[in-house]
Amino acid sequence: MSPSSSRASTLPTEDLIDYEEDVIEPSVAAPAAAGGVANGDDAAAGAGADDKQGKGSYVGVHSTGFRDFLLKPELLRAISDLGFEHPSEVQQECIPQAILGMDVLCQAKSGMGKTAVFVTATLQQIEPVDGEVSVIVLCHTRELAFQIKNEYARFSKYMPDVRTGVFYGGTSVKVDQDLLKNKEKCPHIVVGTPGRLNALVRDKSLKAGSVRHFVLDECDKMLESLG
């Protein structure tokens, strides 16, 4: 979810009320459960950051680590290899909602691990099918696209069936088209910049019909460019 984010699911209202009442986050601009949008920063800084367990924080009351999110064993193993033990505050609040299929608006200061929110949430939910793209992550620069692709590579270390691809302008569009049309090599997770992804959707190389999770990274900057 971005981060982070996936399509909304129909969930009992009381589940949301119970969760939100227990979370008290005085020092972070807490994300709202709406919009399917995420702001991304370096996941490496945030996923393990914060051994500061504030009084009344989600982790202080309910959680001792990433294991409490009931993640896939292979995902937990990768997180452990990366040296991450306790989620940051923004991860404590957003990951449980995102892995339930809720739309999430994730907002926090730089370095709090927002990228890890949607990377973890989408990897937890993905069911890879050859030739189908399940996740699209849209970001405003190629540098950010590469950074996010690398985070997916680190977190999916023990998920060999999951493929991630990065797409951006300034390179041969035919190479991208051929990759997406190759059933055995087509990435399940597509990270890219708006111009290139728009072109690939227009020429029907990138089929959005199978996409289940859509992430807008650094959505404030993305939306500013529309103005």
pLDDT in tens, 181-217: 999 999 999 999 999 999 999 999 999 999 999 999 9
Nearest alpha-carbon partner for 32 in 61, 1, 9: 1
Instruction: Record the pTM.
Output: 0.72
* Residue 5 belongs to some domain of the structure: no
* Residue 33 belongs to some domain of the structure: yes
9 vs 170, higher pLDDT: 170
User: How far is residue 201's CA from residue 154's CA, in Å, rounded to a whole number?
Assistant: 27
Average pLDDT (18-40) is 37
* Residue 36 belongs to some domain of the structure: yes
Residue 3's pLDDT band (cuts 50, 70, 90): very low
* Residue 81 belongs to some domain of the structure: yes
- Residue 24, pLDDT > 70, answer no
* Residue 8 belongs to some domain of the structure: no
Four-residue CA torsion sign, 125, 178, 37, 146: positive
* Residue 6 belongs to some domain of the structure: no
pLDDT of residue 92: 93
Residue 223's pLDDT band (cuts 50, 70, 90): confident
* pLDDT tens-digit series, residues 140-187: 999 999 999 999 999 999 999 999 999 999 999 999 999 999 999 999
Tokens at residue 215, please?
């992430």
Structural domains counted in the chain: 1
Q: Residue 177 sits in a domain of what CATH number?
A: 3.40.50.300
* Residue 3 belongs to some domain of the structure: no
* Residue 35 belongs to some domain of the structure: yes
- Residue 13, pLDDT > 50, answer no
User: Residues 6 or more apart from 114 whose CB is under 8 A from it?
Assistant: 3, 4, 38, 39, 40, 41, 43, 46, 90, 94, 106, 108
Four-residue CA torsion sign, 48, 54, 56, 60: positive
- Residue 69, pLDDT > 50, answer yes
pLDDT of residue 188: 98
Cross-strand partners of 167: 192
Q: Which domain holds residue 199?
A: 13-224
Residue 219's pLDDT band (cuts 50, 70, 90): confident
